């Protein structure tokens, strides 16, 4: 709304012009809605129903920096700028290509789920996420009945799966339970339900309960983590998040 008012003033003089306001208002609305729509296809997801429902929804079919979508939209924009005669057709074509691509990626993710269930015997596949700069590789998080987890790569083109790391069952100590109840940890687990939880001691004797998002562990083991520090009496004395 504010952007529309500012833009309409710039286009229509000192007083807002209704015609200009409506144009910029709808343009801003399309920008916001398209941003939310595209976020639905990233592993992060988006809370589309907030504040009624704060859960994050996601198709997790494209990486949040997807070169194909960026290239298609940029090409459509450049054609529309240089060839005014074909501007509308170029932009519509770019949007259609992006929608078809998103649909194809969503179907490919479902194929990756089926492929993982066939390859990972005795494992329950918890999540499938797109790998950056790859059209056929997917990152998986799977769990055994005892709570242990495994991460790895599914290569649909080669028809193989590769294990990256294995994790023991999550820490279930009383201090880990206290850490889970902190607002930071609850929010993190809400966003990353496949997170691995481990408890350890630091140099000064505090218990450190670390929550690590396994769906992003292919990037860097130290990223996408939350650490809750507790003293010997079980009191939370510190929190830290790394993204």
Q: What is the pLDDT of residues 111-121, one digit of tens each?
A: 999 999 998 88
Among 17-31, 64-78, 79-93, 227-241, whose mean pLDDT is lowest?
17-31
pLDDT value for 11: 54
Question: Do the Cβ atoms of 72 and 97 come closer than 8 Å?
Answer: yes
Question: Do the Cβ atoms of 75 and 101 come closer than 8 Å?
Answer: no
Task: Please give the C-alpha separations between residue 96 and each of 60, 89, 100, 109, in angstroms, as whole numbers.
Answer: 20, 10, 6, 20
Give 127's DSSP letter: E
Of 160, 178, 176, which is closest to residue 168 (Cα–Cα)?
A: 176
**By percentage, how much of the chain surpasses pLDDT 90?**
59
Residue 21 pLDDT more than 80?
Answer: no
Within 13 Å of residue 223, how many CA atoms lie on the same side as its CB? 7
Q: Taking the domains of the chain in order of start, what are their residue ranges?
A: 1-32, 42-165, 174-242
């Amino acid at each position: 709304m504010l952007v529309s008012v500012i833009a309409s003033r710039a286009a229509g003089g000192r007083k807002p012009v209704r015609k200009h306001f409506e144009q910029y208002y709808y343009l801003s609305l399309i920008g916001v809605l398209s941003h939310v729509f595209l976020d639905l296809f990233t592993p992060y997801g988006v809370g589309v129903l907030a504040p009624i429902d704060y859960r994050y929804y996601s198709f997790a079919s494209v990486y949040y920096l997807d070169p194909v979508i960026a290239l298609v939209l940029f090409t459509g924009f450049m054609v529309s700028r240089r060839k005014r005669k074909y501007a509308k057709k170029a932009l519509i074509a770019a949007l259609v290509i992006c929608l078809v691509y998103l649909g194809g990626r969503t179907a490919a993710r479902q194929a990756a789920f089926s492929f993982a269930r066939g390859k990972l015997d005795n494992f329950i596949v918890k999540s499938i996420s797109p790998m950056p700069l790859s059209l056929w590789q997917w990152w998986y998080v799977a769990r055994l009945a005892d709570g242990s987890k495994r991460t790895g790569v599914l290569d649909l083109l080669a028809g193989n799966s590769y294990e990256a790391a294995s994790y023991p069952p999550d820490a279930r100590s009383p201090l880990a339970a206290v850490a889970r109840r902190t607002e930071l940890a609850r929010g993190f687990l809400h966003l990353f339900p496949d997170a691995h939880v481990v408890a350890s001691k630091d140099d000064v004797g505090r218990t450190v309960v670390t929550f690590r998002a396994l769906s992003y562990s292919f990037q860097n083991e130290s990223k996408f983590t939350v650490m809750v520090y507790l003293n010997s009496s079980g009191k939370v004395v510190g929190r830290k998040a790394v993204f």
